[in-house]
Structure 1
C-alpha cells in the first residue's frame, strides 16, 4: 500500500470515527457487537513479503486489540453468534500455514498475556519439513514448524486447527477421495500428533472459489465445529456460526483500524456462500445478513 493511499485511509478512519462510535454503542446496547477474526501467517523481521508482518507491527496490533476489545476463542465467538449475545466487540487471533518463526515472538507473546489464538497447520509440510510452494517460488524456502514446536504451541494453551494436509486449493480439487484425504484423514492424524481434539478448519486461500460444498461437507462430517474463510468479512449475531469470517491482519495499521471499527458497507459487499450441512438440511445462503437493520 503506497503512502498516499495509506494517508487517505487513515484520514477516512479519523473523519468517520464519531459516526462509527455511535453505531458501535448502539450495537452494544442491542448485544449485537461485531466479532473480528484477523488472520496472520508469519511474524518475523527477516525476509519481508506479503504474508509476513514484523514483530513490532504485530505487537502493535496486539496492544491495540487488548486495550479495546474482548479477546476470545472461536468457541466463544460461535456462542455469541448463536445466542445473539455479543455485549462488546471482540477479536480472535488466528494464524495459517505453520511457520517456524512464529514460535520466536508472536506465539509466546500471546501465550504470556493469556490471549486466545487458533493456529492452523498444513500437516504434510510439517511432518515432512517441506517449505511452502509460494515461498520456493519467491526464492526463499522459509522454515515450517516441527512436530516438537507444534506440541509446544499446544502446551502453551494455543488451539491447533487444520489447514489441510498439503495446502490444497479446493477450487481445483473436487474428487471426494482427495477431499477426504486432505480433510477427514488429515484431521485424524493431526489429533494423534497433538493428543487432543481438532475442532476447526481453515481453507487455504479462503476465497469463495475454494469454499466448495464438497469440502464444507467433509469439514462437517469429520466432526469439526466450523470452518474459516479468508476473503474479508465480519461475524455478527444471528449469522451461521459454522462459517467463521476473517480478514487479513494487515501491515498497514490504518487498514486494520478500518476493519476493526466496523464498516457496514463491507458487510453489504460480502459474497454469499451457499452450502448444506446436516441430514435433510436445505440449501441456505449464509454469506449475507440483513445489514439494513444496522445504523449507517
Structure 2
C-alpha cells in the first residue's frame, strides 16, 4: 500500500511539476512565495518509532532544501509575514521533543552548514532525564537531551524553544494553573537552563484541538514571540505571524517534495482554528481568556 501511494505521488509530481514551477514563480514575482516550516523529532539509524528518520534520509532532505529553497529562521518567517513580502520559497527547520541522539548527527549538520534551526524541548524530561511516555508505550525508552547538551546547542547558534514542561495535551488542560505550569513556568525554567531568552513554543501534538485560544493567549501574555502548530499547513502572506504553521519532515522523500513544491490542494484543506475556546474549561479560565489582563494577576 505504501509503495502504491508513493508511486501515485511520484506520478502526480511528474505531471504537475511544470505547472507548480510556474505557479511558484508567479507567487514569488508577487512577493507571496509560500514559506514551509518542517518539523522533525529524532534522526537516527534505528527507526524504532514512527517519528524517526534515518541519517541518510535526513541529510538528503537537507541537501534538497539547500539547493532549492532559501533557509530561514522562525524570526525571518515572521518578518516576511508581517511585512507582507515573501520573494522566494523558503524553508525553516525545527525539531520537537529533545532526543539525545540528535546531538550526534542532526544538530552538527545544521551547525556545519549554518542552517537556521529551532530545537523545541520538553523541560521536565530534560531536567530529570525521563523518557517520553509515547516511547514507553511502545516499549522503547530513548535517551533525552541533557541540560548540558541543550546549553551547548544554544551556545553553537541553535535556537532553543519550549515544548511545554511535560509534553502535555492541551486538549486535556482545564485549569489556569496547569496552563501556567506548562507554558509560563516552563519558559522561565528553560531560560535558566540555557541562560538565554526563549522566544517560541511548539504545541505538543499541534492539532487544531490543541491550538486553543487559552493556549495562544497565555503564550502571548508571557512574552513568547510565536507559537507553532503541527497539523500540516504552509505560511502564506496574510496569515497571522504569531501562529507559525508546520508540516512533518516526512521520511518518504516524494511526500516531502510534494509538500515543498506547494500543493494547492493541501492549502485549500487546511483547517481554521476556533476563535472561541469551546472545549471544557473551568469558569475561572474562561474569564481570563475573555479578559487577558486577568491572566497573570
CA distance in 2, matches of 1:4, 1:46: 25
1:126 & 1:23 partners in 2: Cα distance?
44
Match of 2:109 in 1: 109
Q: Distance in 1 between matches of 2:48 and 2:22?
A: 38
Number of the residue aligned with 1:226: 226
Conserved? CA contact 1:83–1:238, under 8 Å:
no
Query: For 1:70-99, what per-residue CA distance to the aligned partner results, in whole angstroms no more than 9, with x for missing partners?
Result: 100011110101111111000000000000
Aligned to 1:140: 140
Task: Specify the alignment match of 1:163 in structure 2.
Answer: 163
2:19 and 2:61 mapped to 1: Cα distance?
23
CA deviations over 1:234-284 (Å, ceiling 9, x no partner)? 0011211011000000010000000000012111111111348x9989xxx
Q: In 1, distance between residues paired with 2:47 and 2:93?
A: 23
Alignment partners' CA distance in 2, 1:114 and 1:213: 35
For 1:224-263, list aligned pairs within 5 A. Answer: 224-263=224-263
What TM-score results when the alignment is normalised by the length of structure 1? 0.92
Aligned length: 281
Is 1:190 aligned with 2:153? no
The 3-state SS of whatever aligns with 2:201 is strand
The yes-or-no answer on 1:150 pairing with 2:150 is yes
Shift of 1:174: 2.1
Structure 1 residue 66, shift from structure 2 partner: 0.2
Q: Give the corresponding residue for 2:29.
A: 29
Aligned positions of 1:35-184 closer than 5 A? 35-184=35-184
Detail structure 1 runs of 4+ shifted over 3 Å in the superposition. 278-281
1:216, 1:275 within 8 Å by CA — same for their partners in 2? Answer: no
Q: Which moved more, 1:222-231 or 1:208-217?
A: 208-217
Q: Is the 8 A contact 1:174 1:214 kept in 2?
A: no
Seen in structure 2, the aligned counterparts of structure 1 residues 136 and 280 have a Cα distance that, compared at 3 Å, is: closer
SS where residue 182 of structure 1 aligns?
Answer: helix
- The two structures have a TM-score, normalised by structure 2, of 0.92
Q: Distance in 2 between matches of 1:210 and 1:166?
A: 14
Q: Deviations over 1:83-130 (max 9, x none)?
A: 111110000000000000000000000101000000000000000100
Q: Alpha-carbon deviation of 1:47?
A: 3.8
State how far apart, in whole Å, the 1-side matches of 2:274 and 2:226 are: 15
For structure 1, the 5+ residue unaligned runs are: 282-296
> 2:4 aligns to what?
4
Whether contact under 8 Å (1:81, 1:239) holds in the other structure is: yes
In the superposition, relative to structure 1, how do residues 223 and 56 fare at CA in structure 2: closer, same or farther (>3 Å)? same
1:209 aligned counterpart, secondary structure: coil
TM-aligned CA deviation for residue 46 of structure 1: 1.4
Contact between 1:206 and 1:230, CA under 8 Å: does it hold in 2?
Answer: yes
CA-based RMSD of the aligned residues comes to 1.6
**Shift of the alpha carbon at 1:199?**
0.5
Q: How big is the shift at 1:196?
A: 0.5
**Structure 2, unpaired ranges of 5+:** 277-288, 293-297
Is the 8 Å Cα contact of residues 47 and 54 (structure 2) preserved in structure 1?
Answer: no
Shift of 1:216: 1.1
The question of whether the paired residues in 2 share the 8 Å contact of 1:40 and 1:96 is answered with yes
Relative to structure 1, the CA distance from residue 130 to residue 280 in structure 2 (aligned partners, 3 Å threshold; closer, same or farther) is: closer
